[in-house]
Chain A
Amino acid sequence: MEIDDQKQQQLEAPAAVPEGFNTDYLRVYYDGKHPGCDQSYVGRREFSFTLENDIYLRFQSFDSAAELESSIKEKCPFKIDIGPVYSVDPSKRHAYAQSGNNVFVPVERELIFDIDISDYDDVRYCCSGADVCSDCWPLMTIAIKILDTSLRDDFGFSHILWVYSGRRGVHCWVCDSRARKLSNEQRAAIADYFRVYKGGENALKKVSLAGPVLHPFLARSYMDVLKTFFEDRLLLSQQLFSSERCQKILDLIPDENVASEVHDKWQGNRRSSVSKEDVNVTRWEQLKTTLQSGKHKGLRRCVEEIVFSYTYPRLDMEVVFVFQLIPVTVMILILQLFRLYHRYGP
């Protein structure tokens, strides 16, 4: 059944963040904030509540919005998770267990992605962990831009909901019915399509763009979004080429000779620079020229690799598979708002 249009209507204006946490605030918040929902479908959707004292209730289901609303008001959960839609009403699953065969199975589940700002800790100097500021939040917004464009243009999805995950990142919920029916294998394939960043803790160079040209998706991401963002914003906001920080970029160059050659040049120029232009910009231009000169083999894609390393979206590869429950602690950010934030900051 089509609940796509109705899901769009759920989008709400941001709520005020309470000063201190209080169960009463929860009551106030929950009152009047509930989405409309389709009757027969929602009855098979799993919700789970985490109550005071860490009591965890799974397989909650409701036949109507009103039921959901009253249950929440009554129980005042500290945390609500939304699970998949099952083949039968989750709260009645035991009745079906008698009949033997796997009758109680998840059948539909939105396509969900999770981007965590703490995954960018190795490329931002302003904050770390769950902290975010106006210098590094743009990493999130461009990640959203790239993924959103690809989900629409490449995969043909249209009902996409971006949500601030309440602590340190964003969730993407793709609600098209086609998306809801994807198997785990297909979800993993989409996640892999988006994956560029492949390193673990020990890999120095984590982005490797082989091939004489980039796949159209990567090329478009680079030309339309990443290049400008890196050169016009990130370079400067993070001072990537300052004396203490530039080594990190040089470490991404596979040819050690070239890296040390450039490094020595910068050491030499430090005191003699009279240019008004920011040192970051100058050094980046110098580096680009060297890498793209064609004199050195194997450095063909190095410029792009550096840009991708710093700016390309880093998906949490524990991509949501059909079984998992996703926290929806505070739903305040919507796509229209994201555009505002992008201009003015969080």
Chain B
Amino acid sequence: MEIVRSHRQVAAAAAAAGGGGGAGALPTYKAAPQLEVRLEEFELFAIDRLRVLKGISDGLSRGKRPEEMEKLVSELWKTHMRHQDPAETLNKDIISHFVLRLVYCRTEELRKWFLSMETTLFRYRFRLESPESQRMLMTEFQLPYKALPHSEFEAVKDKLSQVARSIGQSANVEHVFFKVPFEEVPDLVASRRVFLSKGYAYVAMSQVVSLVVTQFRCNISKALALTNRKWTATIKEQEKDRLTPIVEALSNAYFGPDYSQPKDAVDISLKDIDQLAKSSFPLCMRHMLDKLRENHHLKHGGRMQFGLFLKGAGLKLEDALAFWRAEFSQKIGSERFDKEYAYTIRHNYGKEGKRTDYTPYSCQKIISATPGVGDHHGCPFRHFGEENLRAALNKMGVGGHALEEIMDKVKNRHYQLACTLTFETTHGVSCDSGINHPNQYFSESQKVLRAKNQTMESQSQSAT
């Protein structure tokens, strides 16, 4: 893999080798660049690009319209990838793409996600390019079409309008058309989405974008499969002390606040936990508390997920120890608890061993967990069966139309959106940022409740 080897080579300019894009700023990533990449850049560039891709993923799952997506992509790119020097931007663009190929080639699920996001990114960046740049890109994808000259356009304008309207689009919106032999656009011919005359299809710009994007997607898909083979065969082992750990960490990266040091340090105390669970815990944590109270035990996955959450919510170490001991000792006795479980809790607070302060799990991590028999961790929206989930939501006071909306989100695998909706329903407010961390759910919830209390207080004050 070229990137890897080039670590040992001397720096070279990015623009020339970058894998295409001609004079335009939009590379097609056809070939890995012959560049030197510093190890820090390797990781940092990839992280920045990942922020863009995750932002896109977020936008898509919120059902943003094309115009909104276009704006979003432009903003994301500007925020995370743009450099004053266009050559530097291109450099980062290309390197980050190829690094992420390594990261996301390793499983079917990762490949699908990466392919989908990169294709979307490419689609909207293409739309934002200038006409000349677009034409150059079209040539690169073997779509060297010539735009229809004005006189010809005028002659067939009515028919083109008619076709647009026949497929449910507004007439007279598109002004750039290409005259293409019908053999080259079989899909458009088959679905009667183009005007045909004397063997030529009149293809709108937006349709050409589709053709370009389809090819791009096809190329990346093949490349990912290839990369995976190379990774498995040689690179992973070769780089096990250097790149491999970085690559493996990147695929689980989370980009919100980490809640390891609770800022709004509202210390939650032992006696508050049950009350707080009812009012402010997300469903996953409520569930685990219920089960802990019921069984006086939680298996390892649950102890980690719930324990770290409590830490992030502001539970002090001594209180945490007391909390778990109170429950576990009912089943196994306090001596065994002290011998076998206390250590782990102290470990989670960074008081033992490596002394790493463990950060509470994000939704992404929780959703991707694989709870087994007897486990209660994971994300209920993903891991519960439909009946159980409905029952659990009912217990939270969610029913009727809202419940159906939530179940619909679950069916479409938008688990975090389902949780966000749950939050919105139970708190009576909207949550635009969306839930992506259980501690975020908790702190947002506390904010809402505090605000409500203040309102009530001032109301009662003014009433007296």
Contact = CB atoms under 8 A, between A and B. Distances in A.
A193 B163 contact: no
Contacts of A190: 189-190
A217 B159 CA distance: 10
B190 A189 contact: yes
A185 interface: yes
A21 interface: no
Question: Which 3 pairs between the two chains have the least Cβ-Cβ distance?
Answer: A156-B199, A189-B186, A192-B190
Interface string A203-226: 000000011111111110000000
B186 A216 contact: no
Contacts of A217: 192, 196
Given A155-B182, A188-B186, A213 B199 contact: no
Contact of A185 (B159, B186, B192): B186
B387 interface: no
B331 to A, nearest CB: 61
A192 B191 contact: yes
A219 B161 CA distance: 13
Interface in B175-203: 182-183, 186-187, 189-192, 195-200
Given A153-B197, A155-B196, A213 B165 contact: yes
A264 B451 CA distance: 65
A310 B162 CA distance: 24
B256 interface: no
26 contacts: A154-B197, A154-B198, A155-B199, A156-B199, A178-B183, A182-B183, A188-B186, A188-B190, A189-B190, A192-B190, A192-B191, A193-B190, A211-B165, A211-B167, A212-B168, A213-B165, A214-B166, A215-B162, A215-B163, A215-B166, A216-B162, A216-B195, A217-B192, A217-B196, A218-B192, A219-B162
Contacts of A188: 186, 190
A154 B168 contact: no
Contact of B159 (A157, A192, A216): A216
**Size range of the chain B interface in the assembly:** 20 to 34
A186 interface: yes
Contacts of A186: 183, 186
Interface string A176-206: 0010001001101110110000000000000
A189 B159 CA distance: 21
Contacts of B159: 216
Interface of A: 153-157, 178, 182, 185-186, 188-190, 192-193, 210-219
Contact of A154 (B187, B190, B196): B196
Contacts of B162: 213-216, 219
Nearest to A185: B186
Interface string B126-161: 000000000000000000000000000000000100
Contacts of B192: 193, 215, 217-218
A115 to B, nearest CB: 19
A178 B189 CA distance: 16
B198 A156 contact: yes
Contacts of B189: 189-190, 192-193
A10 B364 CA distance: 71
A170 B214 CA distance: 38
A13 B94 CA distance: 68
A153 B200 CA distance: 10
A322 to B, nearest CB: 14
A190 B190 CA distance: 6
B163 A210 contact: no
A153 B198 contact: yes
A219 B192 CA distance: 12
A246 B189 CA distance: 36
Nearest to B163: A215
Nearest to B190: A192
Given A188-B190, A210-B168, A216 B199 contact: no
A160 to B, nearest CB: 13
A319 B190 CA distance: 14
Contact of A189 (B165, B166, B187): B187
A211 to B, nearest CB: 4
A156 B166 CA distance: 22
B199 A178 contact: yes
Contacts of B167: 211
Given A156-B199, A214-B166, A216-B195, 11 more contacts: A154-B197, A155-B198, A155-B199, A189-B189, A190-B189, A193-B190, A212-B165, A212-B166, A213-B166, A215-B192, A217-B192
Nearest to B171: A213
A212 B186 CA distance: 24
A16 B163 CA distance: 47
A149 to B, nearest CB: 12
Given A155-B182, A155-B196, A216-B163, A211 B187 contact: no
A321 B445 CA distance: 64
A211 B200 contact: no
A78 to B, nearest CB: 38
B107 to A, nearest CB: 32
Nearest to A190: B189
Contacts of B165: 211-213
Nearest to B168: A211
Contacts of A154: 196-198
Contacts of B195: 216
Nearest to A192: B190
B273 to A, nearest CB: 57
A177 to B, nearest CB: 12
A214 B183 CA distance: 23
Contacts of A189: 182, 186-187, 189-190
Contacts of A213: 162, 165-166
Contacts of A192: 189-191
Interface in B88-133: none
Contacts of A156: 197-200
A192 B190 CA distance: 5
A218 B191 CA distance: 12
A215 B167 CA distance: 8
A58 to B, nearest CB: 30
A218 B189 CA distance: 13
Nearest to B184: A186
Contacts of B199: 155-157, 178
Of B167, B182, B195, B200, the most chain A CB neighbours within 10 A belong to B182
B195 to A, nearest CB: 6
A211 B182 contact: no
Contacts of A157: 199
Contacts of A153: 197-198
Contacts of A182: 183
B174 to A, nearest CB: 16
Contacts of A185: 186
Contacts of B198: 153-156
A216 B159 CA distance: 7
Contacts of B163: 215-216
Nearest to A156: B199
B21 to A, nearest CB: 30
Contacts of B196: 154-155, 193, 217
A185 B162 CA distance: 26
A132 to B, nearest CB: 30
A328 to B, nearest CB: 27
A218 B195 CA distance: 11
Contacts of A215: 162-163, 166, 192
